[in-house]
Amino acid sequence: MTTYKRVLLKLSGESLMGEQAYGIDQERLNDYAMQIKEAVALGVQIGIVIGGGNIFRGLSGAAKGFDRVKGDQMGMLATVINSLALNSALTANGVKSKVLTAIRMEPVGEFYSKDKAIETLERGEVAIFSAGTGNPYFTTDTGSSLRGIEIEADAMLKGTRVDGIYTADPEKDPTATKFDRISFDEIYNRGLKVMDLTATTMCKENHLPIVVFNMDKKGNLLKVLSGEDIGTLVHV
């Protein structure tokens, strides 16, 4: 039994680095692919957005002197690289998936449309939405909110390297405590940085709940999908 029929899974580009300082750690990539395989076996339809911070970030590029728009385009291409890596790892694990791109670049991936996304999901394949929103000045969190809303997902599952949303950054403040549930309004009121505000507001206004959980612990994706109380649920 699963709580969700269709989800948008957001994976962080940074987590893909594993213990490395840059790029893609094969072991972490394979672990993600295996967790996704378990989720597909439950019959859940899964759309995935993956970040690009392990390869390139527009803002840090701009700080080094790149034009911001070019830097963001480089960042979006980085998400395509990660998406291809995940696509390949899923294939190696016997899971069918399709890479859709927000920027036209056949034959690397098919150009995204809602119809194509839904067809893919209904065939039981994983849809990987790459190149974020296709626009500069956005993030893959916003891309996830957008795609999650478009595909009418039951929830956005935000896989991170922490166990959920805390009163403060648990990696910096040992007294921080975790929320099991929190409303969007409380996130604003407390100034918590769960996602950027554009992404958060899109979810709030379109009633897309978010589950923030630790994707780096094996088996956690299955636990979230099975309704186990891990992570933090963000509700309207």
> Which positions make up the binding site for ATP?
10-13, 53, 57, 160, 166, 169
Q: Binding of ligand UDP at residue 133 (CB under 6 A)? A: yes
Q: Nearest distance from residue 160's CB to ligand UDP, in Å?
A: 12
Between CA 236 and CA 130 the distance in angstroms is 27
Q: Which two tokens stand for residue 137?
A: 């000045």
Q: Which is nearer to ligand UDP, 71 or 148 (CB)?
A: 71
Q: Nearest distance from residue 213's CB to ligand UDP, in Å?
A: 18
Residue from 4, 129, 138, 179 binding ligand UDP (CB under 6 A): 138
Q: Nearest distance from residue 193's CB to ligand UDP, in Å?
A: 11
Pair 220, 214: CB distance under 8 Å = yes
Between CA 227 and CA 4 the distance in angstroms is 9
Residues 6+ apart with CB under 8 A from 142: 132, 133, 195, 196, 198, 199, 202
Mark 51-80 with x for binding to ligand UDP (rule: CB under 6 A) and - for no binding.
Answer: xxx---xxx-----------xx--xx-xx-
Between CA 111 and CA 120 the distance in angstroms is 13
Residue from 35, 45, 90, 143 binding ligand UDP (CB under 6 A): 143
Residues 6+ apart with CB under 8 A from 124: 40, 45, 96
Q: Which is nearer to ligand UDP, 140 or 220 (CB)?
A: 140
Q: Nearest distance from residue 135's CB to ligand UDP, in Å?
A: 6
Residues 6+ apart with CB under 8 A from 30: 89, 92, 93
Between CA 187 and CA 198 the distance in angstroms is 13
Known binding residues = 10-13, 52-53, 57, 72, 133-140, 160, 166, 169
Q: Binding of ligand UDP at residue 83 (CB under 6 A)? A: no
Known binding residues for UMP = 52, 72, 133-140
User: Nearest Cα to 8, choosing from 217, 216, 210?
Assistant: 210
Q: Binding of ligand UDP at residue 120 (CB under 6 A)? A: no
The torsion of the CA quartet 11, 16, 21, 23, rounded to 10 degrees, works out to -110
Q: Nearest distance from residue 161's CB to ligand UDP, in Å?
A: 13
Interface residues with ligand UDP (CB under 6 A) are: 13, 51-53, 57-59, 71-72, 75-76, 78-79, 132-133, 135-136, 138-143
